[in-house]
Amino acid sequence: MENTDQTLCAIFRRSITLPLCVAVMLIAFVLPATVHAAGEQARFEQQLEDQFPGSYKLYSSLANDSKLKVYKTYAKTDEEAGIARFSTVIAKILDLAVAEDQDPRRKN
């Protein structure tokens, strides 16, 4: 990666400043990982919707930070568990939905 970093900076050295070069490198190396993670979460959401539509409906009503917590729970579970993998996910959805419902900041 170091050689790639040096090459990118050499390419941009004449036309942009060092901070901008660093920003370009960060985008080049961080963005693909972010896009991949978003794709994995989208795949999880599709599986949840297909297999557990009621739980998906509740999941959809959660705040974005809660959705991320649910996805992290899913990502930590054993992939070979199959559909049983969703038991902890559904429990997490229920816990977060109850917590959000009881949060006075979320009341209209």
Is the pTM here over 0.75, yes or no?
Answer: no
Helix (H, G, I), strand (E, B) or coil at 9: helix
Give the pLDDT confidence score for residue 8 in this predicted structure. Answer: 54
Q: What is the spatial distance between Cα 108 and Cα 106, in angstroms, rounded to a whole number?
A: 6
In angstroms and rounded to an integer, the radius of gyration of the C-alpha atoms of the chain is 20
Burial of 71 (0-12, 13-18, 19+ CB in 10 A): buried
Give the pLDDT confidence score for residue 73 in this predicted structure. Answer: 93
Helix (H, G, I), strand (E, B) or coil at 29: helix
pLDDT tens per residue, range 51-66: 999 999 999 999 999 9
- pLDDT < 50 regions, the chain: 1-2, 31, 33-36
Give the pLDDT confidence score for residue 85 in this predicted structure. Answer: 83
